[in-house]
Structure 1
Amino acid sequence: MSSLRPVSPEPVSGDEIPIGIPVTPSSNRLSLKVVRTLAVFQKYSTIPMGLFTVVHLSGVVLAPPIAGVDVAEQVISMGRELYQTGYSEAILLASACVHVLSGIALQFAKKWDNYVKYGRLRKKTSPTGLSAKEAEIDKSSGLGGITYLLGLGPRPSLSFRMLGLTPLRFSGYLLLPLMTLHVFHQRIGPLAVDGDSSMVDLSYIAWAVAQSPFIRATGLLTLVGVTSYHILAGTLHYLRWFSRRARKNAYGIIFFNTTLAALSVLSISKIEPPSGSTARKFAAYVSHFGI
């Protein structure tokens, strides 16, 4: 106590800030700017894909069970006039690539930002030991799961516990191979064989389902379900709509879309599968790339 002495209060300059007070480095500001820029690219690249999804699903999911196969063919033909002419297809492909690549880059940028802030010694939080805040973040990145809808509180999702991925990110990674395979069969294969995809219609889907009913039907239903989940979960995340009602409505739409898809597959499967040269042409589309 004898060593203590009173001192007069004096302002401290910026250069004299004690080491114990954190100072944001310029690299941290740069990484934060990169994160925000990538988030903007990822967010607004969804607009062309969202418009395409609405138009495309109207023809192949909504119209067949409600209006019939003939009307569905007309809707599909009108849709092609929108997204397979001019620059629309190039814009659609570019937006899909930007969305995927910016999403992957965004995750690396966030990891780098955490490294800049906390260094190598920061331990990764165990998925089974999430704090309340981290559990809320994990929940808000998806739709919360059944336990949340039942009022049992937030729970770390299965994808987070096993893979460290939020439901939104996991559905995106799952959607990538499903969508790629679908595009190869429906668009790239016909282009490689015939130079266009004018022969691809509902009879093509009927033929594919007839070749392998369980696998094709399951694949189509999975594609519709995962697409619906990813779009709706992403929309709620961007709009910051985290209420239980919003999540229940999203699950209702997913169930509705998947049910319509099942009824659509049932309606399309009743079409008489083509044979002869048309069937051989369809087989060439599917097997051209060996996938």
Structure 2
Amino acid sequence: MTSRQLQKAGLPPVSELTEIAPAPVRTESATSGAGTDEPPDPWARRRDAIRLALIRTHKYSSYVFSAFLSLHAVNVVVLPAVTGSTTAADDALVLTRVFYQATAVEPVAVFGALAAHAAAGALLRALKVRRDRRWYAQRQKMTRVAFAGYLLVPVTVAHVALARVVPARLFGDSSIVSLRLVSHGFARHRLLSWTVYTALVGLTAFHVIGGWARWLRLTRRKTLQALTWSSAAVGMLALRVVSRQGAAAPWLARRYDDIYRTQVVRWGAFASGIVYGAYHSFSLSSAAKAHHAAAEYAHQEALIKQAKEEYAKLHPKPVVAVSSAAVETDISSPNFDLEKFLDYALKE
């Protein structure tokens, strides 16, 4: 703008303006309470730091566990599906367990990473529920990937107990554990084995691929669905191969039966409790949502009724006086109006 245009706009001329060196502008954090009537929250920064630490733990622990899971999936899923037998898979399992069952590796890279991932996810979920109730007065929906992760917890615990915990308690170690243990379970407990391992394969494929898609920010839905279904199909093919191997040899079958006898009773009760707890939680959540919707509807109804009453007070209807001359009292007359006649009679 020229000096004349600046003068017309009521602004000082350019010569009177002072040049200031550029400098960053300091702004208060949105969580510090600046510019609001609320006092600053001293725990806001600490909560943000805790949440950031949980997010990083949840993310990077999945990186560590994915390394073990990839190696384990090649042994027990890919090899049986490709070769059509469990011989090569058992040989590879014996070789690889030397590395990931080492004293310094398994507690950190397997059990530690898995426990850290599950615990961080649960704490993040608790913080999100608390934030949603504070901001939106209700709990927001859980993502399908997260829900699949929570469903995986009891299935994974049962699998770890079957393959590592129970054999170690009964026999001192898990050296007798191989795919023969799984095939023996299919021969002895067919329905339970198909239920548990189908859930393990399907939920793992969905949760792992969905989680990595989130970490890598992949948005091609059809590609992710195709990859999930393909992985689940390979896993089901491997289960079909393992289930056809039949029961183990008599001397090994007795030990496997001891493992399953302990496993089925104990973890069957545990799984039943998990299922009942999930159903009960879903019932309570549905009832709370229905109650909230009914209360919201009643509140809106009360507001509408109150608005109508206030509008009627501010805009009263004019009262029209009806004279006797304007009312036809002769019933036989064609101009007789029953409504006007009744109004007139009541007023009189």
TM-score bucket (shorter structure): 0.7 to 0.9
- The one-letter code sitting in structure 1 at the alignment partner of 2:114 is A
Cα drift, residue 113 of structure 1: 4.7
Name the residue aligned to 1:199.
176
Name the residue aligned to 1:96.
114
- The one-letter code sitting in structure 2 at the alignment partner of 1:102 is A
Runs of 4+ in 1 over 6 A off after TM superposition: none
Cα drift, residue 79 of structure 1: 2.0
Name the residue aligned to 2:161.
184
Cα drift, residue 250 of structure 1: 2.1
| TM-score, length-scaled by structure 1 | 0.72
Check if 1:279 corresponds to 2:253.
yes
SS at match of 1:288: helix
- The one-letter code sitting in structure 1 at the alignment partner of 2:89 is A
Cα drift, residue 204 of structure 1: 1.3
TM-superposition CA deviations, 1:145-191 (whole Å, max 9, x none): xxxxxxxxxxxxxxxxxxx3221221111000000001111111111
In structure 2, what is the Cα distance between the partners aligned to 1:101 and 1:190?
Answer: 26
CA contact (8 A) 1:179 1:223 kept: yes
Change (3 A) 1:192 1:70: same
Change (3 A) 1:82 1:248: farther
In structure 2, what is the Cα distance between the partners aligned to 1:90 and 1:228?
Answer: 24
Q: Which runs of 5+ in 2 are unaligned?
A: 1-27, 29-33, 268-348
In structure 2, what is the Cα distance between the partners aligned to 1:261 and 1:223?
Answer: 9
CA contact (8 A) 2:201 2:236 kept: no
Q: Which runs of 5+ in 1 are unaligned?
A: 1-13, 128-163
- The one-letter code sitting in structure 2 at the alignment partner of 1:123 is A
TM-superposition CA deviations, 1:232-288 (whole Å, max 9, x none): 1111112222x2x2x222222221222222221222233242242311100111222
The alignment yields a C-alpha RMSD, in angstroms, of 2.3
Name the residue aligned to 1:224.
201
Change (3 A) 1:256 1:29: same
Please, which of 67, 70, 87 is the counterpart of residue 70 of structure 1? 87
Of the structure 1 ranges 214-223 and 197-206, higher mean CA displacement relative to structure 2 is found in 214-223
Check if 1:170 corresponds to 2:156.
no
Name the residue aligned to 1:105.
123
Name the residue aligned to 2:49.
33
Name the residue aligned to 1:152.
none
CA contact (8 A) 2:90 2:179 kept: yes
Name the residue aligned to 1:136.
none
Change (3 A) 1:197 1:23: same
- The one-letter code sitting in structure 1 at the alignment partner of 2:137 is K
CA contact (8 A) 2:152 2:203 kept: yes
CA contact (8 A) 1:175 1:223 kept: yes
CA contact (8 A) 1:58 1:75 kept: no
- The one-letter code sitting in structure 2 at the alignment partner of 1:239 is L
Change (3 A) 1:36 1:258: same
Identity of aligned residues (%): 23
Cα drift, residue 95 of structure 1: 1.2
Name the residue aligned to 1:266.
240
Structure with the greater alpha carbon radius of gyration: 2
Higher relative contact order (CA 8 A, sep 6+): 1
Name the residue aligned to 1:51.
67
SS at match of 2:138: coil
